[in-house]
Structure 1
Amino acid sequence: MGAWYFPGGSVSSSFVSSVLRDGIAILWIDHPPVNAIGADVRAALAEALAGIEHDRALRGVVVAGTGRMFSGGGDLREVGRPDASGTVRMADLARRIETFPKPVVAAVRGKCIGGGTLLSLACHARVGADDALLMLPELNLGLVPGAGGTQRLPRLVGLEAALDMVTRARGVDAAAALAQGLLDEVADDPVAAAVRRASDIASGRLPWRRTAELAVPDGAQADALRARYLDVAEQAFPGREAGPQAVDLILAAAALPFERGCEAERERFAQLAAGPQARALLHLFFAERALAKAADAPDAATRARIARRLRAVGEPVPPYAAWTQAARACLAEGLAPRAEFIDVIAVKDCGFPALSGGPLHHAGPH
């Protein structure tokens, strides 16, 4: 990793840097362009915390993101893959932050998506800028929030607000987050405000709030909310297995101890990540971004030609054999250089079911 820390000094790596202010270590996630919290960033944060923990000159920690956003999320390339030896998992980092003996405050500017939000939920407080936008969009990819997110979020904002945020995969702006309790403060300079808040917690002027120890404020409403949000999830993401799973996990926060809820979350996440829906949606996620950036991507006229060839076989109906044959013909003729490009065109331009990942992904192997 190459991170280093010295008491009273600073921490630095390729992914995290710090400055010290008023006895508070400000850890900057520095991983352009979106501060993705992948394995290297998690390891750097864990190493920084290890050094800070035993430095008596430091009374607390602020975690912030460089550039225009806190974090665009975790590294989706890790989903469904076994962890390498020594990997710091997001769940372990979140628990490390939550149980840290010095206050840790998140300073959120701009977008805070997926893994960024999961990390912030584990902090002892959260301060946002006016442009802060927090989001848990995992249902878009056929997944549920992990790293304890389904258990921490309802403890902070209540079941109904947590269900609404997750089942719609909709961002929560600074004003709404403050009203719900997802943010503790909104400030023009969230880092300076987070430093003050960390100092106030350390000195006892503000109380410690470890999210896992909080009670779910509207837990008695669980039964009444279930049917409504199962319907919301189905309308927002028709046919996706992750919707009902997310609803049940969030409601479980009102009935189960934190660790048992996290165990259930880990099991559901692993099952979904290995399942065909998440694999198909992740395939399309990466393929669409590659298509947008590739120098050899089909131009508009060629893309339209591919779409016409695919539509000519009729409506996409399982087992999709005719669509697969037409897609393979387009690939063989060189209309697109990669199979995944044709999958994106089939889904985005022709209405092929996204949950099947496109005709060539569906035909496998994958």
Structure 2
Amino acid sequence: MTAEYKVLGDVAVITLANPPVNGLGHATRIGITDGLSKALDDAAVKAIVITGAGKAFSGGADIKEFGTPKALQEPNLLSVILALEASTKPIVAAIHSVCMGGGLELAMGCHYRVAAPGTSVALPEVKLGLLPGAGGTQRLPRVLGVETALNMIVSGEAVKSEMLASLPGQKLFDKLAASPESLFEEAIEFAKAMAAKGGDLPLVRNLPCKHPQGDAYFQFARNTVGAMSRNYPAPLKCVDAVEAATKLKFDEGMAEERRSFIALMFTPESAALRHLFMAERAASRIPDVPEDTPQRPIRSVGVIGAGTMGGG
């Protein structure tokens, strides 16, 4: 199992444990839903905290599953997020280090979010020729505002948690922890406080999503993004999906997002970008050389050959 479950007093803790970045592969998704079921069935548990082991909360979906049956196998990420939203006990995401892609979508499916300073937050799917496929285009505009969310989704670039937490009116983070070291304890205490508070549990899907300039803003966004994205279809599809968040009911917007995600998955552009992503990472790993191999400093380099390559 790639998600661990334990109970600390009256708080259940589900820890994603799928190194190196706690990717949300099928086994991890099963671990989350199994832990959630245990917590809901345990009368002594009053609240739930979800966090990540090691150096990440979650880096998102397992790219190796893309285009395979495992990507859609139940529980898929959409089903996991729906299960979190339906929980009768408050769920707090304790976010640290890296929270990207499906990891951010998972966090937005929780009732509350506590973040460590210095956390890198992003929806980078556009760099793989895709758009967020588990509600990212529908939930991020609701917690950060349309313009900030669209900029993040179209660029795919990471933003630090403290910068996002400082935005006026943001609802992505309910609390910014004092330090990465204190995050877990602060999340536990926050979960206890929310359980004691009672009342209806907040859902991101229920937040309003509008832009004051409406059609004019999205036409401007299309002109700008279209000029920059050239022959890549994903960025403009991101604009369409965020616009859908402002015009359609939440479930209708989710359906539009999903249709675009699946269509993009089978484009040659996305296939090429995913191949490049995997190739770059494969090139950084040398077979039979473990990661803890000592490195020797390189102080000088010699180039042999005076032809075009050598001269360059």
TM-score range, shorter chain: 0.7 to 0.9
Distance 1:193 1:228, change over 3 A: farther
Alignment deviations for residues 61-87 of structure 1 (CA, whole Å, 9 cap, x no partner): 111111121112210112222347853
* 1:235–1:29 distance in 2 versus 1, CA, 3 Å: farther
How far does the alpha carbon of each residue in 1:224-268 deviate from its partner, in whole angstroms, 9 at most, with x for none? 321333244346543210111111111111111111111111111
Q: Following the alignment from structure 2 to structure 1, what is the Cα–Cα distance between the partners of residues 21 and 61? A: 10
Shift, 1:194, TM fit: 1.8
Q: Aligned in 2, Cα 1:41/1:301: closer, same or farther, shift over 3 Å?
A: farther
Q: Aligned AA for 2:97?
A: G
1:58-73 to 2 correspondences below 5 Å? 58-73=45-60
The superposition leaves residues 33-77 of structure 1 with CA deviations (integer Å, 9 ceiling, x where unpaired) of 111111110011011111111211111111111112111221011
- Residue number in structure 2 paired with 1:96: 83
Moved more, 74-83 or 109-118: 74-83
- Rg: which structure is higher? 1
Partner of 1:249: 241
1:276-322 per-residue CA deviation (whole Å, 9 max, x = no partner) reads 111111111111222222459xxx999x9xx97xxxxxxxxxxxxxx
Counterpart CA distance in 2 for 1:94 and 1:235 is: 35
Contact kept, 8 Å, 1:29 with 1:66, in 2: the verdict is: yes
Give the Cα separation in 2 of the matches to 1:112 and 1:85.
Answer: 22
2:186 equivalent among 189, 193, 204? 193
Name the CA distance, whole Å, in 1 between partners of 2:271 and 2:152. 23
Amino acid paired to 2:176: V
Where does 1:298-313 land on structure 2 (aligned, <5 Å)?
Answer: none
Question: How has the CA–CA distance of structure 1 residues 235 and 292 changed in structure 2, closer, same or farther, with 3 Å as cutoff?
Answer: farther
Question: RMSD value over aligned CA atoms?
Answer: 2.4
Aligned 8 A contact 1:140 1:237 in 2: no
1:203 aligns with 2:196: yes
**Residue 119 of structure 1, CA deviation:** 0.5
Q: Is 1:183 aligned with 2:173?
A: yes
Q: How many residues align?
A: 288
Q: Distance in 1 between matches of 2:265 and 2:23?
A: 19
Find out whether 1:143 has 2:130 as its counterpart: yes
CA separation of 1:235/1:109 partners in 2, compared to 1, >3 Å: closer, same or farther? farther
Give the superposition deviation at 1:131. 1.5
Change beyond 3 A, Cα 1:22–1:220: farther
Amino acid at match of 1:73: G
Residue 287 of structure 1 aligns to which amino acid in structure 2? A
| CA 1:232–1:138: 2 relative to 1, 3 Å | farther
> Could you tell me the TM-score, scaled by structure 1's length?
0.73
Q: Check if 1:283 corresponds to 2:275.
A: yes
Amino acid at match of 2:266: A
Q: Any conservation in 1 of the 2:65–2:71 contact (CA below 8 Å)? A: no
CA shift in 2, pair 1:86/1:273, >3 Å: closer
Query: Residues 80 and 270 of structure 1 are in contact (CA less than 8 Å); yes or no, is this contact kept in structure 2?
Result: no
Given residue 219 of structure 2, which amino acid in structure 1 is its aligned partner? Answer: A
Q: Once the two structures are aligned, what percentage of the paired residues are identical?
A: 33
Cα distance in structure 2, aligned partners of 1:85 and 1:231: 34
Contact 1:242/1:272 (<8 A) preserved: yes
SS of corresponding position for 1:43: helix
> Does 2:261 correspond to 1:261?
no
**1:41 equivalenced with 2:34 (yes/no):** no
Structure 1 pair 85–79 and aligned structure 2 pair: CA distance change class (3 A): closer
Cα displacement string for residues 197-216 of structure 1 (whole angstroms, at most 9, x for unaligned residues):
22222222686211111111
> 1-side partners of 2:58 and 2:216: how far apart?
34
Question: Which blocks of at least 5 consecutive residues in structure 1 are unaligned?
Answer: 1-13, 309-366
Unmatched tracts of structure 2, length 5 or more: 289-300
Distance 1:292 1:234 in 2: 33
Partner of 2:61: 74
The equivalent of 2:103 in structure 1 is: 116
Q: Secondary structure, in 3 states, of the residue corresponding to 2:67?
A: coil
Deviation at residue 219 of structure 1 after TM alignment = 3.4
**Preserved contact between residue 26 and residue 70 of structure 2 (Cα < 8 Å):** no
